[in-house]
Structure 1
Amino acid sequence: MVTGGAGFLGSHLCDRLIKEGSDVICVDNLFTGNKDNIRHLLGNPYFEFIRHDVTMPLYVEVDQIYNLACPASPVHYQHDPIQTGRTSVLGALNMLGLARRLKARILQASTSEVYGDPEVHPQPERYRGCVNPIGIRSCYDEGKRMAETLFFDYKRQENLNIKVVRIFNTYGPRMSLNDGRVISNFVVQALRGEDITIYGDGSQTRSFQYVDDLIEGMYRMMNNSREDFSGPVNIGNPAEYTIKQLAEIVLKMTGSSSKIVYKSLPSDDPVQRCPVIDVAMSELGWKPKVALEEGLKRTIEYFRGLM
């Protein structure tokens, strides 16, 4: 079962699981998910879609649960911050309870946001983060941190077979036009000939991984046979770019005449974000393969098709 399965990441994961020969139950309330992302799977006899909110209990029979349900971009998770917190915490509790009943393996899609605005760079899994618990991003950051707490408490108290991955900035086809994250923002603005909006002076850095690389890492983590290895594991691309560099690359690749404009940096926006992936490399034999320019080429083609 994949919660959040009609979303950007979840739909790609469903594709991968179907390709591997699994029976897949996709669960989504369609707040940020979209049926168009899974339309090609709806006629597949090994695929089932259930419209459901994970803050409410769900009773199905599965042997693996990928818990991806939660708005992931600031625009969406700040729209209803209370519901975002409920989704992270109550959703985790409901899925953990289901996994306990079924004795199923469960994977939590956590996030690099648990590191907050980091004082350690790049960020290894042992770093505990620097998160503002009362800021505008807290509903997501602290919600995901609490979800990780619940997962490891279920492991210790209930001997549950858990896996936790921390996802760094991911991009690719099926991002929505109004996704609100930096790559989709820049690509859409460039294709429309609108100003490219940079918040801050553009010197802040991010690392960007293509969606196929992420899905491979998640799949390997779920199917890692070591029950004593639960993570958390950083899944991200350690190639680091400034936001200004990214804007310039997008402008060049789209051939856009858009201009770059600068606006004030939002509250609690992290200055640096880059993963240490030694654990993923040693334990999962995983590292990203898709370079930024190649991933952007595929993403730009996707958005051209939408527009």
Structure 2
Amino acid sequence: MRVLLLGGAGFIGLHLAARLLADDHAVTVVDDFSRGRRDPALEELPLDVRDADLTDPGSYRALEHGWDQIYMLAAVVGVRNVERDPARVLRVNTLALMHLLDWIEPGEPLFFASTSEAYAGGVTAGLVPVPTPETVPLVIEDVAAPRFSYAISKLHGEAAVLHGAHAVVGRFHNVYGPRMGHDHVIPELSLRAARGENPFTLYGGEQSRAFCYVDDAVEAMVRLMATPEAFGRIVHIGDDSAETGIADLAELVLRVAGADPVISPAPAPAGSVARRCPDISLLRELTGFEPKVSLEEGVRRTFAWYREHA
């Protein structure tokens, strides 16, 4: 197959590219590399890599058609980016997608990367259950709050692709692993543990999450794109097998690091939900997916990568 990865140089995109290549597909990556310099791992893969700004419609017009699969992963992500420049998040995430929908041909299979943040406001307001299915109401508590700009951009994206393309929407839930940057909880804990921080500040230890290792998330994506019944649907992607408290997660990371610091509790970041865990019954029903990588094994792999590349 010929596969197009838009935003394919990012965290999930790079892991997906490696998997698709291992399955003997021809892969083209389009990215603006706004996350920084090119990852050396990207240069080592036999990819067709194109540098382009997807907020410019000319970037799409320069692309050929005839793709067997298209994955839309391009977006500005990360709490710090969202808090610092919500207008950029809305502009980039919306324009890149709408230009794609203007360009894509009818019937070209599209995967749109969405997020559990789409319904996070409902969790905070106590309107949705946890574990959370796809059918819950989507709530934005305050459109003026910078934190919600990312969720708003993805809510718009879900509606746009379901009305404008042959698409499956995958809502990611706390996907983690090597190369995901420094602004997420497992890499951030790993880096501080590797540096020997003591006392060790623990933010929001009372909260809980269900973490999904990136290889499992990629497996779910590949399966969904091979499942005709998934198109036109929103499907939660994650690992519901081991919801974990942040305090327990920190204990695991420190044990993997061989560290035993004094723990200094601190409040959770403002606006973060107290609990997040997907109901992945629909994903199982459609594809037979089951997560394979335990949290301990995933943390060990992730910590080893960050210790080497810090």
Settle same-fold status: TM greater than 0.5.
yes
1:268 to 253, 259, 271: 271
User: What is the DSSP-based 3-state SS (H/G/I as helix, E as strand, rest coil) of the residue aligned with 2:228?
Assistant: coil
Q: Which residue of 1 aligns with 2:96?
A: 91
Partners of 2:269 and 2:298 in 1: CA distance: 27
Q: Which residue of 1 aligns with 2:231?
A: 229
Instruction: Tell me how far 1:33 sits from its aligned partner.
Output: 5.7
1:241 to 239, 244, 249: 244
User: What is the DSSP-based 3-state SS (H/G/I as helix, E as strand, rest coil) of the residue aligned with 2:29?
Assistant: strand
Does structure 2 conserve the Cα–Cα contact (< 8 Å) formed by 1:136 and 1:267?
A: no
Q: Which residue of 2 aligns with 1:278?
A: 281
Q: Which residue of 2 aligns with 1:82?
A: 87
Instruction: Tell me how far 1:106 sits from its aligned partner.
Output: 0.9
Q: Which residue of 2 aligns with 1:111?
A: 115
Partners of 2:56 and 2:200 in 1: CA distance: 40
Instruction: Tell me how far 1:102 sits from its aligned partner.
Output: 6.0
TM-score under structure 2 normalisation?
Answer: 0.89
Give the superposed CA RMSD: 1.7
Distance change in 2, residues 1:236/1:54 (3 Å) = same
Instruction: Tell me how far 1:141 sits from its aligned partner.
Output: 0.9
Does structure 2 conserve the Cα–Cα contact (< 8 Å) formed by 1:208 and 1:240?
A: yes
User: What is the DSSP-based 3-state SS (H/G/I as helix, E as strand, rest coil) of the residue aligned with 1:261?
Assistant: strand
Does structure 1 conserve the Cα–Cα contact (< 8 Å) formed by 2:166 and 2:231?
A: no
Partners of 1:82 and 1:152 in 2: CA distance: 24
Instruction: Tell me how far 1:152 sits from its aligned partner.
Output: 1.7
Q: Which residue of 2 aligns with 1:144?
A: 154
Q: Which residue of 2 aligns with 1:65?
A: 70
Question: Which one-letter code corresponds to 1:295 in the other structure?
Answer: G
Aligned length: 293
Partners of 1:261 and 1:130 in 2: CA distance: 33
1:258 to 252, 256, 261: 261
Does structure 2 conserve the Cα–Cα contact (< 8 Å) formed by 1:167 and 1:234?
A: yes
Instruction: Tell me how far 1:34 sits from its aligned partner.
Output: 4.5
Q: Which residue of 1 aligns with 2:296?
A: 293
Q: Which residue of 2 aligns with 1:157?
A: none
Partners of 1:121 and 1:285 in 2: CA distance: 22
Distance change in 2, residues 1:250/1:55 (3 Å) = same
Partners of 2:29 and 2:256 in 1: CA distance: 35
User: What is the DSSP-based 3-state SS (H/G/I as helix, E as strand, rest coil) of the residue aligned with 1:78?
Assistant: helix
Does structure 2 conserve the Cα–Cα contact (< 8 Å) formed by 1:168 and 1:235?
A: yes
Instruction: Tell me how far 1:304 sits from its aligned partner.
Output: 1.6
